[in-house]
Amino acid sequence: MTLLLGPDDRRELWRRLSDAVESYTDQVASLHPAPGLEPSAPSLDPAIVREFVEGFDFDHGIDPFELVDRVVEGLRTYQTQTSHPRYFGLFNPASTTMGIAADFLVAAFNPQLAAWSHSPFAIEVEDRLMRSFGRRLGFEPSAAEGVFTSGGAEANHTGLLVALESVFPQWKRGGVRALPGQPVLYVSTEGHHSVAKAVRLAGLGDDALHTVPVGDDLRMDIDALRDRVRADRGEGAAPFMVVATAGATSAGTIDDIAAVAEVAAAEGLWCHVDAAWGGAALLVPELRGHFAGIERADSVVVDAHKWLSVPMGAGMFLTRHPDLLPRTFAVGTPYMPQAVGGSPVDPYLRSMQWSRRFIGLKLFLSLAAAGWEGYAAVLRHQVALAERLRRELDRHGWEVVNRTPLPVVCFVDRTEASAEHLDAIVAAVVGAGRAWISMARIGTGQPVIRVCVTNYRTTEQDIDALVEAVNQARAA
């Protein structure tokens, strides 16, 4: 067996792959959405999964067709089926068909996106997407600039580094020692923990992150932000950045971006918006108002692999300050190809990554096939499904406790809101394979059942079946 199969075997392999993908797509709704969580299922046992994986013998080449069959079996058996229409989970949607096609093409052609001269088509595709999404954000088209990342965590990390470069240009050379005081950035208590990780990765230390309380609406308390910045400055610290969350992970709430941008402008902070999940809503004109002020952000994160349903990983970092990415990331070297006159800055000079795969193609093909309108129709439908869910829950004695225009619904039982009670309901629904839902804690730690309509194949029947499942679990 060589690394390159012969042409007949290759054709047969592609045929089998496409059959496997097609039957998965066709049958996923009838699979258990979370086999690993079913109490009676063996897949929760790490020893069993490990034994299955150890069964692949590296000492002797295995027939490629058999390999594919066995891997497909592993994927069908030992994973939470995030493509299931009743997976109401953590922003992991089913992959778009064109996104799957894109990843197949990318693996085969394997363009290297470090330098423009190696992959001009791929880089122009990605830059076109950045301009298009920048326009959606309301950024000046000639200034909008960005890079694809592995996901939201890398994009938030990019935002932090760019903010440091912008506010403390001496940081690049002298590191944190060169800062005028303890650096401080702000995010609400509902913000995503990848910001905390980025702070640590940047060497700032956990103490640099100040969490700002939220109001009853679970949005950042703007007065508390302003007071905290001033108090920190008064104590000799060096505040430099604020992160507004637009579509919080647990409750889907959207900070008042305009107000955050106002404080940022007044206090000389970099304003970053983490719209990793919620940013997709900018494709739906009637939802745009909830993001008012996003055009004033210095940088924004939108993950295509969340609500835009392309395969993982596809994050986008966008900024309206085009010089800052190269200022932050460029390091010169003679062994890389020379820039071609008139081409954009090579991506390895404006990204955390060096060698890079063609991340943007899955979004490019999905968007080009669906069009803005096609995407908007799907997102609108999901928002309507969440509305239906809220109505039905209310009718059946549940209390929805989060307020958001986005399709995340957090709720409790009106008569008994303890974590144990809610946990038992979630376990019963998930264990019986009726849907995948989860527990979350919001605000001051209130336990809630969390449901996110994240799959474009979810229907009204799925919503009604979910309501029936939670009702029955509660009654039991």
Ligand X SMILES: Cc1ncc(COP(=O)(O)O)c(C=O)c1O
From the CB of 474, what's the least distance to ligand X, in Å? 28
Which of these ranges, 51-59, 151-159, 160-168, 218-226, lies near ligand X under the rule CB under 6 A? 151-159
Q: For ligand X, what does the binding mask look like between residues 210 and 249, x meaning CB under 6 A? A: -----------------------------------x-x-x
Residue among 99 and 151 whose Cβ is closer to ligand X: 151
Q: How far is the CB of 85 from ligand X (least distance, A)?
A: 20
**Contacting residue, 303, 346, 413, 462, with ligand X by CB under 6 A:** 303
Cα angle vertex 162, ends 221, 404, to 5°? 35
Rounded-to-integer distance, Cα 342 and Cα 48, Å: 56
91: left (phi over 0), alpha (psi -120 to 50) or beta: left
Indicate the residue among 274 and 413 with the shorter CB distance to ligand X.
274
Residue (232 or 274) nearer to ligand X, CB: 274
- Does residue 307 bind ligand X (CB under 6 A)? no
Site for ligand X in 244-263 (CB under 6 A): 245, 247, 249
Q: Are strands 145-149 and 315-319 parallel, antiparallel or unpaired?
A: antiparallel
Q: How many whole angstroms separate alpha carbon 123 and alpha carbon 364? A: 12
Cβ contacts of residue 148 below 8 Å, gap of 6+?
126, 129, 314, 315, 316, 317, 356, 359, 360
Segment interacting with ligand X, rule: CB under 6 A, options 69-77, 148-156, 160-168, 234-242: 148-156
Which window, 216-224, 272-280, 321-329, 456-464, contacts ligand X (CB under 6 A)?
Answer: 272-280
Which residue of 86, 131, 192, 350 would you call a contact of ligand X, by CB under 6 A?
A: 192
Specify the residue, 232 or 255, whose C-beta has the smaller distance to ligand X: 255
- Name which position in 115, 137, 242, 276 contacts ligand X (CB under 6 A): 276
- Name the percent of the chain in helix, strand, coil, to the closest 5: 50, 15, 40
* Separation between Cα atoms, residue 108 and residue 121, nearest integer Å: 15
Determine, following the binding rule CB under 6 A, whether residue 277 of this chain makes contact with ligand X: yes
Q: Out of 87, 91, 348, 436, point to the residue binding ligand X (CB under 6 A).
A: 91
Structure-token match 């049958």, residue found: 27
What tokens were used for 339?
A: 């820039």
CB of 92 to ligand X, least distance (A): 9
In the shown chain, the binding pattern of residues 316 to 345 toward ligand X, with x for contact by CB under 6 A and - for none, equals ------------------------------
Residue 448 in contact with ligand X, rule: CB under 6 A: no
Q: To 10 degrees, the CA torsion angle through 120, 122, 127, 133?
A: 160
E strand segments, 144-199:
145-149, 183-188
**Burial of 110 by CB count in 10 Å (0-12 exposed, 13-18 middle, 19+ buried)?**
exposed
The phi and psi torsions of 169 (rounded to 5 degrees) equal -55, -20
Chain Cα centroid distance, residue 176: 29
| Tokens at 208, concatenated | 């640099």
Is the Cβ of residue 126 or residue 303 nearer to ligand X in the bound state?
303
Distance in Å, CB of 74 to ligand X, minimum: 23
Give the number of residues written for the chain.
Answer: 476
Kindly state the smallest distance separating residue 196's Cβ from ligand X, in Å: 11
Q: Which residues bind ligand X (CB under 6 A)?
A: 91, 151-153, 156, 192, 194, 245, 247, 249, 274, 276-277, 303, 315
